[in-house]
Amino acid sequence: MSTDFFLEEFQQKNNNHAIIWNENIFNYSWLENKIRQLQKNLDSYEIKNGTIVAVDSTFSPLTIALIFALIERKSIIIPLYKLNSKIKEKMLKISECEFLLSVKDEIIECDHLKNNSKQELYKKLREKNHPGLVLFSSGSSGQQKAAVHDFNLLLEKFKANRKLFITLNFLLFDHWGGLNTMFHTLSNGGILVCTDNRNPENICRLIEKYKIEVLPASPSFLNLLLISEDYKKFDLDSLKIISYGTEPMSETVLKKICKTFPDVKIQQTYGLIEVGVMRSKSKRRDSLWVKLGGEGYETRIRNGILEIKADSTMLGYLNAPSPFTNDGWFNTGDKVLVDGEYYKILGRNSEIINVGGEKVYPTEVENVIQEINNVSEVTVYGEKNFILGNIVCAKISLIEETNKVEFIKHVKKFCKERLQKYKIPVKINIENKQQYNYRFKKIRIQ
């Protein structure tokens, strides 16, 4: 199976636009031809079926074609994106990578790393002669985990035809959200607009220039977009859908996005490196309640934690214990509320702050502080305390400089009027550092 249905779609679309990159347009016939050409390159590199191959790149046309070629070769693929050498070396070691393909200026450099992995998860893929995918978590709230997938199972859902859109591939190359956007757009014959410049002004410029219809993004980026006000400089009337995921959304930011883009469908998505991206339906465009599932997915709640069973669930971790229950359900670690068919995701169970026996959800406190004028970003976290076990702390970035002492007093007074006493931050730090990582995801580790 692998990519046969993709290649059939590419042949049918032929001279239609497929990818826009660095102001250049590449059509579907170019993409199909490049995939076939790269098969010969893989032969010259001596990359055989079942070889573990890391691809260090971004969503350039050559890289997109290379991913398809590696899937056809039944390789086990590890996407990497602009990592510093120390982190990259660690990931290559964990994955026991055999080849590193680096794409620079649309030229492929090949390094043979000479590993010979005996990993049991890789063995399962090789026995089936299936391509594999290794995805690393962002590590924003703990250790980076390496999840191993059967790529055939992940690709299965893209056989179903969906609407054709011009889509910005905002989410990154080493993130399943980014890969999901790529496969979804190309499987439906849409146009994929790619960029390495993700500042709000450039994103708005691209939307205007290429009449982009779908913007998938993280809540952290959407907050940055609102603060920048760059959306006022460009014509963004082409936008039909803004989808958000990868981390909890602030109710305050969601309301502002809905008000700023009144005619755009605002949709929450839910995905994990372990299970892929699920189909979702928001209760309302301004609601954080969402219905999750779709073909191939089941959900259940145990002890307030969301668990998922899916056809596309990973085979397992390379560097962590199994997260599966005895009856085969994946424990997401996400605490949720339930209202009929809808869920409200409160955040990771591991991030809950226990203050003298009372539970504090960081997102609840962040939502309140985010309402305060001049707040750019806020991260709430717990700090050990001899008497209470933990205390609530907040790290706040400001839009404009102000008297820090007076501002902290204002924050505590504001919170006192809206939160129970044990939820009010005891310590508040004002700093200028950005609070999100390269994936535009809030950094939870303090």
What would the pLDDT profile of 67-104 be if each residue is shown by its tens digit? 999 999 999 999 998 777 788 888 999 999 999 999 98
How wide is the angle at C-alpha 39 spanned by C-alphas 36 and 43, nearest 5°? Answer: 155
Residue numbers in the chain where pLDDT is lower than 50:
none
Question: Would you state the torsion angle of the CA atoms of residues 95, 96, 102, 103, taken in this order, to the nearest 10 degrees?
Answer: -40
Structure confidence at residue 161 (pLDDT) = 80
How far CA 79 is from CA of 103, 133, 410, in Å, comes to: 11, 8, 45
Structure confidence at residue 351 (pLDDT) = 87
Structure confidence at residue 294 (pLDDT) = 77
Structure confidence at residue 214 (pLDDT) = 97
Structure confidence at residue 141 (pLDDT) = 54
Structure confidence at residue 46 (pLDDT) = 92
Count CB-CB contacts under 10 A for residue 67: 26
DSSP 21: E
Structure confidence at residue 3 (pLDDT) = 82
Strands 297-302 and 305-310: antiparallel
Structure confidence at residue 445 (pLDDT) = 61
Count CB-CB contacts under 10 A for residue 113: 14
Per-residue buried b or exposed e for 140-178, using 16+ beta carbons within 10 Å of the residue's own CB: bbeeebbbbbbbbbbbbbbeeeeeebbbbbbbbbbbbbb
H or E, element range at 69 = helix 61-72
Tokens at 16, concatenated = 């239609």
Let me know how long the chain is.
446
Structure confidence at residue 131 (pLDDT) = 96
Q: Does residue 95 contact residue 148 with C-beta atoms inside 8 Å?
A: no
Bridge partners of 206, per DSSP, are none
Positive or negative, the CA dihedral 56, 62, 63, 68 is negative
Structure confidence at residue 381 (pLDDT) = 92
Structure confidence at residue 140 (pLDDT) = 52
Q: Does residue 218 contact residue 245 with C-beta atoms inside 8 Å?
A: yes
pTM of the model: 0.88
Question: For residue 71, which of 187, 189, 194 has the smallest C-alpha distance?
Answer: 187
Q: Does residue 283 contact residue 338 with C-beta atoms inside 8 Å?
A: no
Structure confidence at residue 446 (pLDDT) = 56
Q: Where are the beta strands (DSSP E) in 58-145?
A: 76-80, 99-104, 107-112, 132-136
Q: Does residue 228 contact residue 253 with C-beta atoms inside 8 Å?
A: no
Structure confidence at residue 347 (pLDDT) = 83
How far CA 122 is from CA of 83, 153, 184, 323, 360, in Å, comes to: 24, 15, 26, 18, 41
Count CB-CB contacts under 10 A for residue 63: 21
Q: Does residue 330 contact residue 311 with C-beta atoms inside 8 Å?
A: no
Question: For residue 35, which of 8, 70, 59 has the smallest C-alpha distance?
Answer: 70
Strands 270-272 and 214-217: unpaired
How wide is the angle at C-alpha 120 spanned by C-alphas 116 and 123, nearest 5°? Answer: 70
Q: Does residue 408 contact residue 428 with C-beta atoms inside 8 Å?
A: yes
How wide is the angle at C-alpha 343 spanned by C-alphas 338 and 346, nearest 5°? Answer: 95
What are the φ and ψ backbone dihedral angles of 328, each rounded to 5 degrees?
90, 15
Rounded CA-CA distance 118/11 in Å is: 38
How wide is the angle at C-alpha 59 spanned by C-alphas 56 and 63, nearest 5°? Answer: 60
The three-state secondary structure class of 25 is strand
Read off the amino acid at residue 445.
Answer: I
Rounded CA-CA distance 7/29 in Å is: 10
Tokens at 362, concatenated = 């960081």
